[in-house]
A and B are shown apart, each in its own frame.
Chain A
Amino acid sequence: QVLLQQSGPGLVKPSQTLSITCVISGDSVSSDSAGWSWIRQSSSRGLEWLGRRFYDSKWYNDYAVSVRSRITITSDTSRNQLSLHLKSVTPEDTAVYYCARTRDGFFDVWGQGTLVTVSS
C-alpha cells in the first residue's frame, strides 16, 4: 500500500518561501513507473496542478506556467521524500497543498493535504 505523509508549516508570511515535504512509503521517489506531483486547492482557484518530478535515467521537472518562476520541486532518495518550495508567496497562495503519485496521466494516490495560510 502506497502512503504519502505530508508535513509543513500552516502559516507563512507574505514574500517568504512555502516549503512542504511528502514522505513516500510503499513506493520509491525514483520509481521508473511513476512521477510525483504537487497540486493545490483553494475556493478561488479550484484544483490546480503545480508541477511534478520524475526519474527516467535522470531527473526531470515539469512546472505549471502560473508558478514556473517561483516553484522548485526536489527529491531526497535517502529519505524517499519529495519537497515543494514556492517562493515570494502572497495571500493568493493560500490553499490546501497535496502531493500525489502520477501514473499514466492521472493521480492515483494522494497525500492527506496541508493547509497553508499566507498572512502576516
Chain B
Amino acid sequence: QSALTQPPSASGSLGQSVTISCTGTNSDVGGYNFVSWYQQHPGKTPKVIIHEVNKRPSGVPDRFSGSKSGNTAALTVSGLQAEDEADYYCSSYAGKSFVFGTGTKVTVL
C-alpha cells in the first residue's frame, strides 16, 4: 500500500486560507468516504481534525474543512491563525487497512 501524496509544504499569511491536497487511488481515497486529517505540532501526538471526509470533531474550529473529489481529498484552513502552524497528515481506509499521507508542513507567514 503506497502512501497518499501530499505537498511537502504550504504557507499562508495570518487570516488567509490554505488548502492541502491528498491524492490516492480508487482503492483508498476514491473508494471510501473514510478520509481523515490529523494535525501534529512538534513533539506532540497527532490530533484528528476532520473525519469521514468533512466532519469535524467537537472542539475543532470551523476554520477547518474537508472535501473530496474522485481520488483526491483536500483540507482547507480558513482564517489562518498562528497556532495552525503544524504538520498535517491525511489518512484513508483502504479495505481492511489504512494508509497515511506523506505529510504537509504548514507555515503561517
User: Chain A residues in contact with chain B, CB under 8 A?
Assistant: 37, 39, 46-49, 52, 62-66, 98, 102, 104-108, 110-113
Partner of A47, one of B57, B89, B92: B89
Q: Which of B1-49 contact A (CB under 8 A)?
A: 1, 3, 32, 34, 36, 38, 45-48
Partner of A105, one of B34, B38, B45, B102: B34
Give me the 9 closest cross-chain CB pairs, A-B, nearest first: A105-B34, A106-B36, A106-B51, A47-B100, A49-B98, A105-B93, A110-B45, A62-B96, A46-B103
B90 vs chain A, min Cβ distance (A): 10
Closest residue of chain B to A49 (Cβ to Cβ) is B98
Q: Which of B45-99 contact A (CB under 8 A)?
A: 45-48, 51-52, 57, 89, 91-93, 96-99
The bracket for how many chain B residues form the interface is 20 to 34
Secondary structure type dominating chain A contacts: strand
B56 vs chain A, min Cβ distance (A): 12
Partner of B97, one of A47, A49, A98: A49
Known contacts A64-B1, A112-B45, A113-B45; is A106 also within 8 Å of B96 by CB?
Answer: no
**C-alpha spacing A32/B57, complex, angstroms:** 21
